[in-house]
Amino acid sequence: MPDNSITTVIFDMDDVLCDYDREARIAHMARTTGLRAEDIVAAIWGSGFDDRADEGAFTPDDYLSETQRLLGVQISAQDWAAARKASITPRPAVLEMAHRAGERAQLAAFTNNGPLMRSMIGDIFPDALALFGEQLFFSCDIGIAKPAPEAYLQVLERLGAEPHRTLFIDDNEGYIRGAAEAGLHVHRYTNADALVHQLRTFGLL
């Protein structure tokens, strides 16, 4: 096999494998808690809490406790998961492409997400868990979030993969730049047709 052939393909999750609607998530949390949407945004995202969770600062239990403290209300893990699930609409065409690419290369996914998402992924996005299994990597487990180049290299180390033989697919331009800095081949996801073309170019479809 040529040295430049792609032997590993890594997909981002939100807005690649699925549509991600943060507003739907916030609206669901507002209905569950009785809080205003803007107060939820300020507490979870404006405080930096969500970023720290993505970087591995909390266990699942600690994450839920801190969520409750920041919101000032009780919210169960099941209610949190229901809100997160409300934000996701799977993209069957992309999931099928990933499945087909996985027949020709090692398949993985890498997402910036926290510990409660990771522990409840089977309830929130079962299609992703079924497709990627233990090769669905979360930044909270890596301890470093995208776009830090080291985050991608940590994932590759766990996969036993080489940067120059890996294709990384993400919708976020900054995350694409970080992967490129780490030496990976990259494709910025914009639509399914462009992804089909890119995967065919690398002989993965």
What CATH number does the domain containing 139 carry? 3.40.50.1000
Chain-centroid distance, C-alpha 16: 9
What is the dihedral sign for C-alpha 87, 170, 205, 105?
Answer: negative
pLDDT value for 1: 41
pLDDT at 164: 97
pLDDT value of residue 3:
57
Which residues are bridge partners to 186 per DSSP?
A: 168
Using the 3D structure, point to which of 38, 64, 86 is the last residue of a domain: 86
CB of 182 closer than 8 Å to CB of 149: yes
Lookup result for tokens 């993400």:
170
Token pair, residue 85, equals 């699930």
On whether both 161 and 174 belong to a single domain, the answer is yes
Where the chain has pLDDT below 50, the residues are 1-2
Domain that holds residue 141: 8-20+90-201
Q: How many domains in the chain?
A: 2
Q: Give the pLDDT score at 4.
A: 65
pTM of the entire predicted model: 0.95
User: In terms of domains, do 104 and 185 share one?
Assistant: yes
